[in-house]
Amino acid sequence: MDLQIALLLGQDGIVNGAIYALLALALVLVFAVTRVIFIPQGEFVAYGALTLAAFQAGKTPGTLWLLLGAGVLVAFIDSIMAVRAGAPGRLKRIALWDLALPAVVAGLVLWLEPGTLPLAAQVVLALAIVVPLGPMVYRLAYQPLAEASVLVLLIVSVAVHLALVGLGLLFFGAEGSRTTPFSEAQFALGTLTVNGQTLWVLGASAVLIIALYQFFGRTLYGKALRATAINRVGARLMGISNTMAGKLSFTLAAGIGAFSGILIAPITTVYYDTGFLVGLKGFVAAIIAGLVSYPLAAAGAILVGLLESFSSFWASAFKEVIVFTLIIPVLVWRSLTSHHVEEEE
Amino acid sequence: MRIKSLIVALVSAGTVSLAYADITVGVLVSATGPAASLGIPEKNTFALMPTTIAGEKVKYIVLDDASDTTTAVKNTRKLLTEDKVDVVIGSTITPNSLAMVDIAAEAETPMISMAASARIVDPVDAKRRWVFKTPQNDVQMSTAITEHMGNNNVKTVAFIGFSDAYGEGWWQEFSKIAELRKMKMVASERFNRADTSVTGQVLKIMSTNPDAILIAGSGTPAALPQKALKEKGYKGKIYQTHGVANNDFLRVCGKDCEGTLLPAGPVLVAAQLPDSNPVKKSALDYIGKYEKAHGSGSVSTFGAHAWDAGLLLANAVPAALKKGKPGSKEFRAGLRDALEATKNLYAAHGVFNMTPTDHLGLDQRARVMVKIEGGKWVLQK
């Protein structure tokens, strides 16, 4: 191994690490606010990438029908709840968010032929299809169980993951796809060539992380999420709706996931089930951070990316083993240095 | 309500006992999970198969094993005990097929596998005498590659394959044959189907500077190392295996796959075969039927393995019918004997000539070398 190879491996590791960092942040966010270990996070990566790829192949992505279907289901359940609760005033809101919004998105997709639009517009449309699925999944699968134990929520996560992977296979087929890169540019950096897309991944990740930081520090909604994360009951007594916090965190997680997928789709082939492994590595990073600290999660993600990249050079057959074994020393160290508060009993 | 469901139950019970006289074919494919890209065209192919053979009605019961061995075993038992099938066709992948061998032999029911490994049918022993298979052995394909490499002055070869049974099987077969041909294996790397980056492996391979590189992966995931190699400026020859022979691979790999060489079943380039080739007609027959149902360019070589299994069956049924009625033990034994006696059966992937020691029955007519040129498969003479 010489310096050249080390640099190339380092570059590769940091690019992958940036994606894992985004996913780790989303996982930490969702867990902190709702106590859900969000295994389906990876599915949003695949849905985002493959929806965009479907546009570029001139097809109507199946996720569009999922959005419409989930919207109708959510609207149906919420309407019944609203009428029962004697609050018909909520119906207007329900109709707007769960029926009108998906219908508008569907109308745009079917009418515009997204494959012919500029890339930025395609990305916006793909996000418009995938991101609303986040709060809808929360409404259908998690909200009725919001007070359940972490274990129950984890089991629900597994179920949601399997359902979404199955739907992914149905929508996109077994074979993978790639999308056109955001930029074809190449830069020479000493002996190293850097692709435009690589810079896009790094830049977008950095911007997103800073934006999240600002969101939590400066906005009312961000502070509401933090309050819920720190003390659910306390936050509720101060008038912060747990349901709102849950939906908002799932919207953010879906948005981060889908956008990560769109970022990596030009550099690697994305399959209907790619997201799971990518999400799992984000999860390793989130574990390193103890599922609480954002900066530690980002650092852990870079570590996972680098470890993966270098181990694929030295011992490619054991790459996954090495990456996932990382959890064990981290857990040992965590359990030795932190004191436990049993949540249930 | 209760009476209604009782009637439904009675009627359906009636149809089951009526159907008992038909030939029942149990099919197990991996239509979901990691092998879905192989299993789906196979599943589609069974919908095109004849509904009557030699005047008898044929009923196909198609189950999915989710590329999972446990599910494959469970579903095979279900087919054998509940549906009382006369023959089992499946499964798509080697681990599942190997697990099914015992169960089929125990039930004394013939089984036709659509998976690649030679171990499924070799050696033909007390259990494997019930088992047949349609895809070419990895050895046959490995020999085709090493032959081509030898003819093109390749001295050093690097290998990168899936870190599963597919990659491992290829490494074992290929490295053995390559050594015999005095080629030097300079690197052996692995990657995962779901990997998003193979930069590390590719850099390591390129540091050994091989004349040729063999990528042993199936479907579109095999495009990832190739794209990485081109991106890092590799100039030598790149070989793929027949696992990539579907059009999705060309779509994903694009211009990075120009000039790639691979061995494949003749069905992949059927239209380019000379008219004198006996396989041409039977292969085109399958392609025509499949593309009529699923659109042009949709055919894949994996579906053709399923088609060949159907041809073997259709060829064996008339002889078996003389031995006993469908559903009987005699019929199943007769079917086994007839399958073993298959002679000169022209199928989509070659010509089948079974013997009591060879339950595959394909010869070198079952493989051709193919090159990717201009985004198309081109037959190499």
Instruction: Convert the pLDDT of each residue in A106-131 to its tens digit.
Output: 999 999 888 888 999 999 999 999 99
What is the per-residue pLDDT for B5? 57
What is the per-residue pLDDT for A339? 66
Instruction: Convert the pLDDT of each residue in A49-60 to its tens digit.
Output: 999 999 998 889
Tell me: pLDDT of B17 over 50: no
Q: Which residue of B has its CA nearest to A174?
A: B37
What is the per-residue pLDDT for B1? 47
Domain with CATH 3.40.50.2300 in chain B: 2-136+288-366, 138-264
Is A174 in Cβ contact with B219 (below 8 Å)? yes
Of the candidates A169, A176, A317, which has its C-beta nearest B220's C-beta?
A176
What is the per-residue pLDDT for B21? 67
Query: Confidence band (pLDDT; 50, 70, 90) for A188?
Result: confident
What is the per-residue pLDDT for B346? 93
Q: Which residue of A has its CA nearest to B233?
A: A193
Average pLDDT, chain B: 89
Is A309 in Cβ contact with B199 (below 8 Å)? yes
| Residue in the structure block whose two tokens are 């940036």 | A18
Mean pLDDT within B183-190: 92
Tell me: pLDDT of A152 over 70: yes
Is B40 in Cβ contact with A173 (below 8 Å)? yes
Q: Which of residues 244-283 of B touch A (CB under 8 A)?
A: 246, 248-249, 251-252
For an interface test with A, which of B42, B67, B203, B230 has the most A Cβ atoms less than 10 Å from its Cβ?
B203
Question: CA of A123 to nearest chain B CA: how many angstroms apart?
Answer: 20
Percent share of chain A, pLDDT over 90? 48
Structure token pair of residue A152: 């129950």
Instruction: Convert the pLDDT of each residue in A223-266 to its tens digit.
Output: 999 898 888 889 989 998 988 999 999 999 999 999 999 999 99
Percent share of chain B, pLDDT over 70? 94
What is the per-residue pLDDT for B185? 93
Mean pLDDT within A24-38: 91
Is A273 in Cβ contact with B190 (below 8 Å)? no
Question: CA of A84 to nearest chain B CA: how many angstroms apart?
Answer: 31
Mean pLDDT within A167-172: 92
Average pLDDT, chain A: 89
What residues of A are in contact with residue B192 (Cβ under 8 Å)?
Answer: 277, 319-320
Lowest mean pLDDT among A150-154, A193-197, B43-47, B126-130: A193-197
Q: What is the CATH number of domain B2-136+288-366?
A: 3.40.50.2300
Query: Confidence band (pLDDT; 50, 70, 90) for A340?
Result: low
Say whether residue B220 is in contact with chain A using an 8 A CB cutoff.
yes
Mean pLDDT within A36-40: 93
Instruction: Convert the pLDDT of each residue in B88-124 to its tens digit.
Output: 998 998 889 999 999 999 999 999 999 988 889 988 9
For an interface test with A, which of B170, B196, B230 has the most A Cβ atoms less than 10 Å from its Cβ?
B196
What residues of A are in contact with residue B251 (Cβ under 8 Å)?
Answer: 175, 177
Is B200 in Cβ contact with A311 (below 8 Å)? yes
The domain spans of chain A are: 3-337
Q: Which residue of A has its CA nearest to B205?
A: A313
What is the per-residue pLDDT for B254? 86
Q: Which residue of B has its CA nearest to A166?
A: B32
What is the per-residue pLDDT for B18? 44
Helix (H) or strand (E) holding A340: none
What residues of A are in contact with residue B160 (Cβ under 8 Å)?
Answer: 316
What residues of B are in contact with residue A314 (Cβ under 8 Å)?
Answer: 200
CATH topology of domain B138-264: Rossmann fold (3.40.50)
Tell me: pLDDT of B201 over 70: yes
Tell me: pLDDT of A189 over 80: no
Question: CA of B161 to nearest chain A CA: how many angstroms apart?
Answer: 10
Mean pLDDT within A10-31: 92
Instruction: Convert the pLDDT of each residue in B278-324 to its tens digit.
Output: 899 999 999 999 999 998 888 889 999 999 999 999 999 999 999 98
